[in-house]
Each structure stands twice: as C-alpha cells, then as structure tokens.
C-alpha cells in the first residue's frame, strides 16, 4: 500500500497554514494535544466550535433581542468524554451512515471495517472523526479552519487522508466546507450530525416544528437499516415533505418517526430523472419553530438524512441525554445531514463515495437562520 507522511506536500495542497494567535485551552490535553473552544460571531449568529471532533457545541440565534441556543450539545469537554453521545453535532467520517456488512471491495482489495451497528459499519466506527483532535489551521472572528490527518488503515479504511473543514458565519448563515485528499483510493462521505431545536435546546420537543424536505424518494432499508439499493417513491405518502411545510407531529403520527436518507430533487417535485444529480447547490430542507425562528439547509450533496430524534433520551444511557443545563427526551432534536446516499460503494446506481489520489473531495453546505 502507498504511504505518505502527513508533512509531505502530496497531502497538503488544499490550504495554507498561517500563523494563528493562541487560543484558550478547553479542558485537559488529550494525548498531548490541546483542545480549544472558539466562538464565531456576527450580529445575529454565534457558533461555539471545538477542535474535539470538529464539533459544534452551541449555535445561538438572536431572536427579538434574546439569544436562543438552538443546538443540543455539552457545556464542557468532560461531558463529551464521559458518557457523551458519539457524533454529537460533530464531523462524521470517513463515511457517514451505514456500510453494509462492514466490508467493501475496491480495486481488487477487500477491506474490513468495524461492525458497530448490528451487522453494519456506522459513521466511521467507534473511533471515527468525532473522537479526533483536529489541528487549528486558522481562525478569525467569523471562521475557523480545522485539519485532520487520518492514517492508512484507520478503522479499516485504506489510504492516508488529509482533511480540512471550515466553519464560517456570514451574517445569518452558517457554512460548512469540506476538502479531502488521499494517496490511495478510499471512501469519503462527510456530514455534520447536528441536533437542532429552534425553540432552544432546552425547550422540549421538535414535534411542533414544521418541516419541508425537497426530495421525491428515499433510499430503502431492511430491518437492520441496511441500504437495499432500491429507491422508495414518496409521492402520495405521509413522508412526502415537498413544497409545503408539514407539522412534524402529524408526520410522525402518520408515517412513523423518521430516520431516512431523502434523495434530493433538483428540478421540481416530479423531476425524478434528476434525483441524485450533483449539478448544483439547492435548498434541501426548511424547518420552522413556533417562536418564529426558521432554518434552511442548502447543499451541493444529493442526499440529506432526516432524523426526528427517535432515540434521544433512552433510559439505558442516562449520562448522555443532558447538557448545558437541560435534559433531553425523545424528539428533542431534529437532524438534517447533507451527504451522499449511504452505502454507495455497494450500489452502482448511487452517487459514488470513492475518492482517488488524483481527485479532491469537496462539499459545501450551509444553514440560513431567519426570525420573524
């Protein structure tokens, strides 16, 4: 297998490394690496970012002269380390979502991954990116760029991977930009696993939120949530969330709790031939809360995982579901995660997650917050 030292130019072609000012340490060092917390600001939006897992720990929206924290998260590094929720508003990788059987074939080689979700591999494994200490490349008052070197063989994935993530606040917008390079063919499918409650993370459930998702199909799953390769048409079903805003409590009552990859549509609700195309950036979803705060999710990705917090508050994890002075229960958070369709390595009709050495992985998604 090819090898590449992280200091060599083959993997450091994406971003410069300017001098940065000292940032305050957030908790104890981990394996000799400092963990820091930085707040990105505009007049209407504040975002707390830590280099532990490239995690967002808070997102505050200014609503009628009051700052509302609309993201579930923890108040300290210890809370993430001691019983914290994996992938909790953090970067997810190398591959978001599930890979069937925890194995895949690529260029004549079979690679075995950790099976950490029944028979499948989920979100990059138990030591995925959410546990990594990213390097702070640069920051200013409204943006921060983080980098991570993921070595060949980590969690079973091939190739030395150099990753850059930039979070940027632009007025009322929060932007997520990802870039990645590898020295060997590998898989890469990134997202942020944020749990959102626009009333405030402490303010009950999201069942009274209204939701629109611009998708005509979902990727079908079996009883183990393994992707089958088939597409389910949403037309005429209670899970069809196109066009109008739909009260989430009604959707859950009629379609059941949601945990599905919605296949985004570029050219209107009936343009099924455009499902999965990456021709441009589009409005993937919109959610509104009764307090007047709304959030749009824009992306250049072909899918968005929609999860209504069905397993939040499970009693077998009592140390997990509380933070920042609040206790969270079932349906306390809504996840809207732009990404490639899951398990694309096993389905040729899906957008491919394969990244090769002569390619650069790029993704751009952003959230637009508005108030009445």
Which is the catalytic residue, given 132, 179, 296, 337? 337
Q: Is 289 helix (H, G, I), strand (E, B) or coil?
A: coil
**Helix boundaries (H) for the chain:** 77-81, 248-255
288 belongs to the catalytic site: no
364 belongs to the catalytic site: no
1 - beta bridge partners? none
Which is the catalytic residue, given 193, 201, 217, 367? 193
Q: Is 207 helix (H, G, I), strand (E, B) or coil?
A: coil
C-alpha span between 53 and 15 (Å, rounded) = 19
Q: How many CA atoms lie within 13 A of 26 on its CB side?
A: 22
* Residues 193/123, Cβ–Cβ less than 8 Å: yes
C-alpha span between 141 and 178 (Å, rounded) = 19
* Residues 104/187, Cβ–Cβ less than 8 Å: yes
Q: Is 55 helix (H, G, I), strand (E, B) or coil?
A: strand
* Residues 180/163, Cβ–Cβ less than 8 Å: yes
Pair of tokens at residue 285:
């979803």
C-alpha span between 292 and 288 (Å, rounded) = 7
241 - beta bridge partners? none
174 - beta bridge partners? 169, 367
Question: DSSP secondary structure string, 325-337?
Answer: TEE--TT--BEEE
Q: Is 355 helix (H, G, I), strand (E, B) or coil?
A: strand
Element containing residue 219 per DSSP (H, E) = strand 215-221
C-alpha span between 98 and 205 (Å, rounded) = 26
Q: Is 127 helix (H, G, I), strand (E, B) or coil?
A: coil
C-alpha span between 307 and 68 (Å, rounded) = 22
Task: Tell me the helices (H) and strands (E) count for the chain, helix number first.
Answer: 2, 28
- Give the residue numbers annotated as catalytic, written as ranges: 193, 337
């Amino acid at each position: 297998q090819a090898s590449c030292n992280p200091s060599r130019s083959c993997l450091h072609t994406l971003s410069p490394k300017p001098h940065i000012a000292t940032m305050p340490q957030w908790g104890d060092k981990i394996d000799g690496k400092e963990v820091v917390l930085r707040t990105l600001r505009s007049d209407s939006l504040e975002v707390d970012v830590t280099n532990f897992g490239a995690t967002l720990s808070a997102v505050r929206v200014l609503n009628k002269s009051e700052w509302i924290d609309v993201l579930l998260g923890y108040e300290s590094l210890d809370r993430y380390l001691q019983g914290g929720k994996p992938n909790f508003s953090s970067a997810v990788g190398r591959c978001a979502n599930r890979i069937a059987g925890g194995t895949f074939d690529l260029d004549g080689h079979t690679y075995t991954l950790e099976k950490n979700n029944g028979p499948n591999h989920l979100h990059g494994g138990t030591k995925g990116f959410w546990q990594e200490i990213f390097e702070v490349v640069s920051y200013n008052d409204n943006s921060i760029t983080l980098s991570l070197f993921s070595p060949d063989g980590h969690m079973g994935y091939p190739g030395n991977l150099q990753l850059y993530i930039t979070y940027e606040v632009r007025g009322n917008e929060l932007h997520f930009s990802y870039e990645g390079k590898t020295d060997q063919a590998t898989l890469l499918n990134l997202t942020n696993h944020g749990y959102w409650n626009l009333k405030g993370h402490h303010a009950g459930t999201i069942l009274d939120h209204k939701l629109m998702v611009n998708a005509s199909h979902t990727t079908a799953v079996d009883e183990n949530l393994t992707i089958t390769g088939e597409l389910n048409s949403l037309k005429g079903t209670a899970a069809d969330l196109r066009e109008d805003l739909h009260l989430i409590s009604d959707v859950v009552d009629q379609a059941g709790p949601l945990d599905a990859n919605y296949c985004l549509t570029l050219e209107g609700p009936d343009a099924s031939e455009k499902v999965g195309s990456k021709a441009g950036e589009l409005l993937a979803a919109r959610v509104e809360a009764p307090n007047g705060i709304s959030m749009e999710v824009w992306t250049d990705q072909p899918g968005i995982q929609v999860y209504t917090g069905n397993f939040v508050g499970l009693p077998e994890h009592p140390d997990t579901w509380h933070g920042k002075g609040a206790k969270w229960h079932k349906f306390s958070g809504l996840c809207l995660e732009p990404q490639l369709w899951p398990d694309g390595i096993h389905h040729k009709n899906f957008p491919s997650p394969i990244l090769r050495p002569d390619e650069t992985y790029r993704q751009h998604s952003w959230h637009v917050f508005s108030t009445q």
